[in-house]
Amino acid sequence: MDTALIPKGVRRCPMWQFLLGLGIVGAVLAWGVYAMLLCWFKGLNQTNMNNYYGFALWIWADLAVIALGGGAFFSGLLKYIIGKDELKHIINYAVLIGFICYSSALLILAIDIGQPLRGWFIFWHANIHSMLTEVAFCLSCYFSVLTIEYIPLILENRQLNKVPFFHHLSHNMHEVMAVFAATGAFLSFFHQGSLGGVAGVLFGRPFAFREGLLIWPWTFFLFTWSAAAYGPCFTLLLTWITEKVTRKKLVKDNVVELLAKISGWMILTYTVAKICDTTRWANITVPGMGQTLADFYTGNAFYGYWILFVEIVLCGVVPAIILISAPLRKNPAWRITAFFLGVIGVSLNRWVMILQVMAVPVMPFDSWALYYPSWQEVATTILPVAYGVILIMISYRYLPIFPQEAELNPIEEAATAAVEIQTDTTPDLEPAQA
């Protein structure tokens, strides 16, 4: 039915299978949309947030997807600016993932604010001293950049590409993509950083507060660094999942290993920086405010020292070693384990810098505040995941996301001949075979 839209030289699943998958994920999406509408029309009383937990699950999800979407800007930087040309085989997918992550982040922010219709105030009445203002501006600008990077990919669809204007537009946009990649890297540096700054500037919250360089707390640099380090892990993990789902090899190992190796070194340097930051914070900053590390990791039912171990050692040191070591990196099982740990690690870091900050009491006579999300919060957090899966499904089916797919999965002559014979007798099967 949709053969004419499917890229040449590749196979796709039958239409019924595609629609079935789309329907299942669509149902989850509808559930999320329902919860989102409840929040918009009835207000944030639909959540379990409270006056102690002004920031909760959504803001964590927001920060996490932005960090995980960091693979887009870092891969772009490596390919277009540093000149790692092999990465052209994965950059499309990195851009698509980035586009999904950033559009999701903007959607989450739109649900999270108490007065969604006033969301534009952040631009109109901008407070230049607020890290959140910087986040809003850079996030919006970078999302525009990602859209510009995604458009040529859409225009490469078989049918759209037949239109001369679209063909030339796509070609010319590819030609100048280095400019957008550089712009994206610049903007990402600031919005990833300012997201770190959101927590780091809270001098009323010793758990979050960090000293820094000029107006930027150390978390500013750590967030940018960690997004660049762990973002590619997410891109590669999703590539692996896509390969498993489609039962095809989509990207050559040398491309995966190159990005994995760079990610490994980035994670290692980030982890060293994180250890330095934590050490200084625990020994100088926190005691200077009259507190000790035990104040943040004991006296409650959930937040313990295990978090430090999981974040820094298990999800920092371990994946760094795996990805740096050639034998381990070349072993798919170890490699995927490292990607998985990396994704967990950066997500946990964002959790700590948002939710644990809210949980820790500051006044000596105050107590820990623990929180669990309502189903509406969970549903609206899953909503972007469903949206992402749908966008990946559609993009994978109709756009040349993986340039190496045709080469890695050649349609054999015999099979092609068989298809032709079948097509002659039963024309209805043509889309499925194509």
Partner 1 sequence: MKHEQQHNPPMKYGMAIDLDKCTGCGACMVACMSENNIPFREDESDKLVSISWMSVFKLTNGKAFPDTEICYLPRPCQHCEGHGGHSPCVSVCPATATDYSAETGIVSQIYTRCFGCRYCMGACPYHARYFNWWDPVWPEGMEKYLSPNVSPRMRGVVEKCSFCFHRYQLAKNKAYLNDERTVPEAAYQTACTQACPAGAIVFGDLNNPAHQVHQIVKPDPRKGNKSRNPRAFRLLERLGTNPKVYYLSSREWVRRAGDNYLAHEKTGQVSNVHH
Residues interacting with partner 1, by CB under 8 A?
43-45, 49-55, 112-116, 118-119, 121-122, 124-127, 129-133, 136, 198, 201-206, 209, 211, 285, 287-292, 295, 357-358, 362-366, 369
Q: How far from 135 is each of 126, 144, 193, 220, CA to CA, in Å?
A: 11, 14, 9, 11
Q: Are 364 and 20 in contact (CB under 8 A)?
A: no
Which is nearer to partner 1, 50 or 426 (by Cβ)?
50
Shortest Cβ 62–partner 1 spacing (Å):
11
Shortest Cβ 310–partner 1 spacing (Å):
24
Neighbouring residues of 234: CB distance < 8 A, sequence distance ≥ 6: 68, 69, 70, 71, 97, 339, 342, 343
Nearest-angstrom CA–CA distance, 202 and 23 = 44
Per-residue tokens: 44: 């944030």
Neighbouring residues of 312: CB distance < 8 A, sequence distance ≥ 6: 271, 274, 275, 278
Task: Give the sign of the dihedral formed by CA 204, CA 208, CA 211, CA 217.
Answer: negative
Neighbouring residues of 213: CB distance < 8 A, sequence distance ≥ 6: 221
Nearest-angstrom CA–CA distance, 375 and 185 = 36
Neighbouring residues of 33: CB distance < 8 A, sequence distance ≥ 6: 383
Nearest-angstrom CA–CA distance, 46 and 56 = 13
Which is nearer to partner 1, 125 or 247 (by Cβ)?
125
Which is nearer to partner 1, 301 or 414 (by Cβ)?
301
Which is nearer to partner 1, 53 or 150 (by Cβ)?
53
Shortest Cβ 347–partner 1 spacing (Å):
19
Which is nearer to partner 1, 293 or 382 (by Cβ)?
293
Nearest-angstrom CA–CA distance, 413 and 111 = 52
Shortest Cβ 45–partner 1 spacing (Å):
4
Q: Which of 371, 393, 322, 381 is nearest to 347 (CA)?
A: 381
Which is nearer to partner 1, 246 or 291 (by Cβ)?
291
Q: Which of 266, 132, 270 is nearest to 190 (CA)?
A: 132
Which is nearer to partner 1, 299 or 410 (by Cβ)?
299
Shortest Cβ 366–partner 1 spacing (Å):
7
Q: How far from 343 is each of 18, 258, 419, CA to CA, in Å?
A: 28, 18, 42
Shortest Cβ 371–partner 1 spacing (Å):
9
Which is nearer to partner 1, 44 or 90 (by Cβ)?
44
Shortest Cβ 285–partner 1 spacing (Å):
6
Neighbouring residues of 243: CB distance < 8 A, sequence distance ≥ 6: 249, 250, 251
Shortest Cβ 213–partner 1 spacing (Å):
13
